[in-house]
Structure 1
Amino acid sequence: MSFYDEMAALADELLREFGKPLTLRCVLPGSYDPGSGTAPETVTDYPGTGALFDYAMLAAGQTWIPSTLIEVGDKQCLLSPAGVPLPTTGDQLVDGAEVWQVQNVKAANPAGTPVLYELQLRR
């Protein structure tokens, strides 16, 4: 086991202890069907573990302005990559009855080993 595999296992262990179960919902557009005039989506849910945080005013600086990168009400999620694919913009994160849209993704992926996903979420 490499150093980064150990770090990924530690991050997963800490998120399981101090985080909560979350579901990553990947929504992929289907191919266009000319007969029905629609492009049905394929939805796949992946159970995962993570922790949600409010963005701190000091960390966000002046980006708390509508139509900028971070808006009031956005959440930061630290998500374990264990059993979860790399999220993309447009995916959803389900926390109980709340559904959040993934706005931005940062992956801590040193030497090709995913250790942690940091997501910016918006309703």
Structure 2
Amino acid sequence: MSFYDEMATLADELLREFGKALTLRRVVPGAYDPASGTSAETVTDYQGTGALFEYAMLAAGQTWIPSTLIEVGDKQCLLSPAGMPLPTTGDKLLDGAEVWQVQNVKAVNPAGTPVLYELQIRK
């Protein structure tokens, strides 16, 4: 086991202990059916563990102004990559009954080993 594999395992253990269960939902549009005027969607849910945090203005390095990168109400999610694909913009994050839209994704991925996903999420 490499050093970064150990770090990924440690991050997962800490998020399981201090975080909570979260679901990453990916919706992939299917082929358009001109006869019915609809397209089928494929919805895939990935069960994971993470922690949600409020953005601190100084820590984020951004201001909370509409049409900027971080807006009022946005949250930061630290998500374990264990059993989880790399989230993409447009995915949804489910926290119980709350549904958040993934706005931005940063993968902590040294030497090709995913250790942590940092998400910016918005309602």
Same fold flag (TM > 0.5): yes
Unaligned runs of 5+ in 2: none
> What corresponds to 1:39 in structure 2?
39
Structure in which a larger fraction of residues adopt strand: 2
Instruction: Tell me the percent identity.
Output: 87
Secondary structure at 1:4 match in 2 = helix
CA apart distance, 1:60: 3.2
Q: Return the alpha-carbon distance in structure 1 between the equivalents of residues 66 and 52 of structure 2.
A: 21
Cα RMSD after superposing both structures: 1.0
Q: Return the alpha-carbon distance in structure 2 between the equivalents of residues 60 and 50 of structure 1.
A: 19
Secondary structure at 1:72 match in 2 = coil
1:7 aligned partner, one-letter code: M
> What corresponds to 2:26 in structure 1?
26
CA apart distance, 1:52: 0.1
> What corresponds to 1:77 in structure 2?
77
Q: Residues 77-118 of structure 1, C-alpha deviation per residue, up to 9 Å, x if partnerless?
A: 000000111100000000001000000000011111111000
CA apart distance, 1:41: 1.5
Deviates more, 1:95-104 or 1:35-44: 35-44
Q: Return the alpha-carbon distance in structure 1 between the equivalents of residues 85 and 103 of structure 2.
A: 16
Distance change (3 Å), C-alpha of 1:62 and 1:82: closer
Stretches of 4+ moved more than 2 A in 1?
60-63
Secondary structure at 2:38 match in 1 = coil
Paired residues in the alignment total 123
Please give the TM-score of this superposition, normalised by the length of structure 2.
0.96
